[in-house]
Amino acid sequence: MTNHSETTGPAENGDVTARGALNTPIAHEAQVTLRTPAELADALPYLLGYRPEDSIVLVALHDRDGRGRFGGRARLGIPAHSDDWAAAARQLAHGLVTGSERRGARPEQMVAYVCQEPRKGESGGEVMRRLRPLAQLLRTECGRLDVPVIEALCISGGHFWSYCCPHEGCCPAEGTPMGLPGTSVVAAAAAYAGIQVRGTLRELHARLLPWDTTAALEQEIVLDAAGMDLVPRILDDASRADVAEETLGLAERIINRLAAAPSVPGTLQADRRDDELLGHDEAAALILGLQDRTTRDRAAAWMEGDEAGPALRLWRALARRCVGPYGEHAAAPLTLAGWVAWSTGDDLEAREALAMALGADPDYLFARLLHQACNEGLDPESIRRCLRAGGARPDGTGEDVTRADADATGQGVPENSGHRRHRASSGERPDAPVRPARAAEGTRARSTAPGRTRPGTAKPGGTRTRAAGRSRGRRDAAPEATRSAGTGVEGDA
């Protein structure tokens, strides 16, 4: 076992396991050996790619020549009520073990973390004691699966505590201070390999959450006005294709506008710059136009090369404009943001954006399938191939993006999956405009034009669409692992 009284000492003070040290391949050229709880605590942000908050994290270990090596990681938000802790621990342990088994590498051991900042008037030590039952549930659930937890750490208030210390009194009650960020051997190896820790999940979510400023009311008013014009046209077979072309043409112009904008330092400043480049009327037209499934699928073709970055910035900006009663409409731009992030190799933002899309609309099939595929580590290339080919062929026999993604995940698309329901927003006035989140999402479309490489580029032949039937009150089952944004199971199993 680890010599907890020498958490920052040299190698001879002990290893995390009796069989040897833990090794993580930060890069092909660099290998880091972790021997102490302090090093394990410091390594967590580099294992996940961000600094977890209010999180339960499990990290799988695999035995390689007598030395433990990191495998899959999984994170779940700490439930607010302790009555839910047992279910969360069971879900996390089972998901990581079964996910690892599907990849042919069942973990031999686990490292567990519980991370939470102290509440007002609470100390880190009190957090540690309050979360001790949760850590014990993690150890019990992993033990049921015959995968022992060899270290369980609590990280709170800049300190860490071990729940596995074999010697009472050897660890200070106030916890052991975390090292200064960027000063550990893991930080040095990560810097050498070009790996960066991207802050916290809260900071990532802030880039995708609706505005809560005075400008939100202005945007809502413009959305109401735009809906009076666009919703009837989207629901009309004769005009839906025209709305799609207008939406894609506008999106392309704004993507080009964002690409030409000078760069600014910092994510907050960059997002504010993007918001200034997008007018309220433009945002409203795009948000409503993207509620049509086929228009959304065609917009998803901005996924690689020089277009991907500006497209991702646009989808983020649109998600921030889904204010007030238009929160459900965010499912479309959030799903597009998650897709582009996943397609360009950013699994972290992809998982978070897709989880937030499912928080906005648990029935959103495209987000559900992408979220599962991303969490299972599947290759997005099959979906990219479909999008490069233009989605559907002129004869109507081509597969849409949702179908391609269902095939990639090994799941069939449920019958009537395109049939959506329209739910009136709570508190909606009788004279308020109809909002098309469900009705427009329920349209099935068939392209009569050849496949295009640029979604907004007009080609002869136009687009013919037909409305699919809508089933009121029907609700597809949401994925078991998905809850609200930021609390779904995440990780690389």
Taking the C-alpha atoms of residue 418 and residue 443, their distance in angstroms, rounded to an integer, is: 7
- Please tell me whether residue 254 adopts helix, strand or coil conformation: helix
* Residue 394 to residues 389, 407, 463, Cα–Cα distance (Å): 11, 21, 10
**Section 60-76 average pLDDT:** 80
Both tokens of 154, joined, read: 């609590």
The pLDDT assigned to 204 comes to 83
**Section 330-338 average pLDDT:** 96
- Residue 32 pLDDT more than 80? no
- Of 70-74, 164-168, 195-199, 370-374, the range with the highest mean pLDDT is 370-374
**Mean pLDDT, the chain, whole residue set:** 75
- Residue 91 pLDDT more than 90? yes
- Residue 84 pLDDT more than 90? yes
Each residue's pLDDT tens digit, 413-454: 443 333 333 333 333 333 334 444 444 444 333 333 333 344
Q: How far is CA 336 from the centre of its chain?
A: 12
Burial of 20 (0-12, 13-18, 19+ CB in 10 A): middle
Residue 85 — very low, low, confident or very high, per pLDDT cuts 50/70/90? very high
Of 215 and 266, the structure prediction assigns the larger pLDDT to 215
The pLDDT assigned to 6 comes to 30
Of 313 and 73, the structure prediction assigns the larger pLDDT to 313
Residue 196 — very low, low, confident or very high, per pLDDT cuts 50/70/90? low
Both tokens of 436, joined, read: 């098309």
**Section 291-296 average pLDDT:** 93
- Of 135-139, 394-398, 489-493, the range with the highest mean pLDDT is 135-139
Taking the C-alpha atoms of residue 402 and residue 420, their distance in angstroms, rounded to an integer, is: 14
- Residue 356 pLDDT more than 90? yes
- Residue 337 pLDDT more than 80? yes
pTM over 0.85: no
Of 113 and 102, the structure prediction assigns the larger pLDDT to 113
Nearest-5° angle of CA 167, CA 117, CA 3?
20
Of 386 and 16, the structure prediction assigns the larger pLDDT to 386
Helices in 103-176 by DSSP H: which ranges? 124-144
**Section 114-133 average pLDDT:** 92
Percent of all residues in the chain with a pLDDT value above 90, rounded to a whole number: 43
Taking the C-alpha atoms of residue 94 and residue 411, their distance in angstroms, rounded to an integer, is: 20
Contacts of 122 by beta carbon, 8 Å cutoff, 6+ apart: none
Percent of all residues in the chain with a pLDDT value above 70, rounded to a whole number: 66
Taking the C-alpha atoms of residue 112 and residue 296, their distance in angstroms, rounded to an integer, is: 40
Helices in 236-364 by DSSP H: which ranges? 237-260, 267-276, 280-289, 293-299, 308-320, 331-343, 347-360
The pLDDT assigned to 62 comes to 87
The pLDDT assigned to 172 comes to 80
- Residue 329 pLDDT more than 90? yes
**Section 396-410 average pLDDT:** 51
**Section 356-364 average pLDDT:** 94
- Residue 473 pLDDT more than 70? no
- Residue 456 pLDDT more than 50? no
Question: Cβ(331)–Cβ(354) under 8 Å?
Answer: no
The pLDDT assigned to 428 comes to 36
The pLDDT assigned to 420 comes to 38
Out of 32-41, 327-336, 339-348, 431-440, pick the least confident: 431-440
